[in-house]
């Protein structure tokens, strides 16, 4: 039986709001992955693919939380690998992080190479028959998102288990965060996929997260934790670098748009002036037998006297 009386305490509400914030912050990489994965779906299925992907991710996290006691044992070493100065005891968490990180690196590099080779543009415009469109099915996309969410959510779920003492608070926090993500996922995905430079930035971000996950899985990390964000120092630095790059990219896009609009206005002004031509100065075409314009006489270009015999 769920005891809802816990929500009468300030501690429960503080834990809930903190967990919602952490779930959203730690879900940024998941949103980027969902946007890039559902881009491979047909246009009419991308919207439902994003919603189902997030719903599947929410289901996986809630299942994780229901086995909170088992999650604690995920950090216990299963075996130890010793190679000279390197020695690390691998737990189930480490194996999942290492495998997921390597997958993200490979996937990100493949997508980047495809963009640089213009594979998607060639497939859309039929420029090259041998370039596939890289389309996937709805079930494959949702399944991929759900599996990768296990990797993305391991640390955030373990953090939630450590911060909150009640399962209902953790589940409400996860559901609230996912519902907020559902509101913005379409806008974020369309923005990423509609701007190649932002898509490249997202792919680089995915690769960087993959490197961090793989290094963490192999036990290579600073060991410094930023308690306010619930993230290790190296992950905070990567997030900061990506936010900084995103701000620069948005400013550059805004400048390019305004400069393009300004140049277009200049071209329109030039065309309007060229179109008016002599009509704007009152120098219309003259017909046969018409008297010369008054301006011409003022210039001393009147008729000349005939020469004497």
Q: How many domains does the chain have?
A: 1
Main-chain phi, psi angles of 110, to 5 degrees: -60, -45
d(CA 221, CA 116): 32
Give residue-wise pLDDT tens across range 43-87: 888 888 888 888 888 888 778 777 765 666 677 788 888 888 888
On whether residue 299 sits in a domain, the answer given is no
On whether residue 296 sits in a domain, the answer given is no
Give residue-wise pLDDT tens across range 151-186: 777 666 666 665 555 677 777 878 888 888 888 888
d(CA 143, CA 149): 10
Domain range for 242 is: 9-260
Looking at the DSSP assignment, which residues form a beta bridge with residue 232? 225
pLDDT band for 282, please (50, 70, 90 cuts). very low
pLDDT at 296 over 60: no
On whether residue 302 sits in a domain, the answer given is no
On whether residue 79 sits in a domain, the answer given is yes
d(CA 181, CA 53): 11
**Of 39, 80, 68, 4, nearest in space to 202 by CA:** 39
Say what the pTM is.
Answer: 0.64
**Token pair recorded at residue 114:** 């495809």
On whether residue 57 sits in a domain, the answer given is yes
Q: Evaluate whether 50 touches 36 at the Cβ level (below 8 Å).
A: no
Average pLDDT (189-208) is: 81
**Helix 196-217 and helix 167-194, axial crossing angle in degrees, nearest 10:** 140
On whether residue 195 sits in a domain, the answer given is yes
Contacts 24+ apart (CB under 8 A), 107-115: 107/206, 107/210, 108/203, 108/204, 108/206, 108/207, 108/210, 109/207, 111/36, 111/203, 111/206, 112/200, 112/203, 112/204, 112/207, 115/196, 115/199, 115/200, 115/203
The helix (H) or strand (E) run that includes residue 63 is helix 46-66
On whether residue 159 sits in a domain, the answer given is yes
The helix (H) or strand (E) run that includes residue 90 is strand 86-91
On whether residue 277 sits in a domain, the answer given is no
d(CA 160, CA 154): 10
**Helix 28-38 and helix 167-194, axial crossing angle in degrees, nearest 10:** 50
């Amino acid at each position: 039986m769920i005891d809802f009386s816990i929500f009468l305490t300030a501690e429960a509400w503080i834990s809930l709001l903190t967990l919602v914030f952490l779930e959203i912050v730690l879900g940024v990489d998941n949103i980027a992955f969902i946007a890039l994965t559902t881009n491979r779906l047909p246009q009419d299925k991308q919207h439902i693919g994003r919603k189902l992907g997030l719903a599947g991710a929410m289901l996986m996290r809630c299942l994780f939380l229901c086995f909170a006691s088992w999650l604690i044992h995920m950090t216990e070493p299963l075996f130890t690998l010793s190679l000279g100065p390197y020695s690390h005891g691998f737990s189930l968490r480490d194996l999942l992080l290492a495998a997921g990180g390597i997958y993200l690196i490979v996937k990100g590099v493949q997508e980047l190479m495809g963009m640089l080779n213009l594979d998607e543009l060639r497939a859309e415009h039929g420029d090259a028959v041998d370039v596939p469109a890289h389309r996937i099915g709805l079930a494959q996309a949702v399944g991929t998102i759900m599996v990768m969410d296990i990797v993305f959510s391991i640390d955030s779920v373990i953090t939630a288990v450590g911060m909150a003492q009640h399962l209902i608070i953790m589940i409400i926090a996860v559901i609230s965060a996912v519902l907020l993500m559902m509101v913005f996922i379409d806008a974020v995905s369309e923005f990423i996929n509609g701007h190649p430079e932002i898509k490249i930035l997202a792919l680089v971000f995915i690769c960087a997260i993959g490197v961090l996950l793989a290094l963490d899985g192999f036990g290579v990390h600073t060991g410094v934790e930023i308690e306010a964000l619930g993230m290790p120092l190296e992950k905070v630095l990567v997030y900061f670098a990506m936010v900084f790059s995103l701000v620069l990219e948005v400013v550059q896009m805004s400048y390019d748009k305004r400069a393009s609009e300004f140049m277009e206005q200049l071209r329109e002004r030039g065309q309007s002036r060229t179109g008016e031509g002599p009509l704007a100065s009152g120098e219309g075409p003259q017909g046969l037998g018409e008297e010369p314009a008054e301006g011409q006489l003022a210039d001393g270009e009147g008729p000349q006297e005939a020469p004497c015999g």
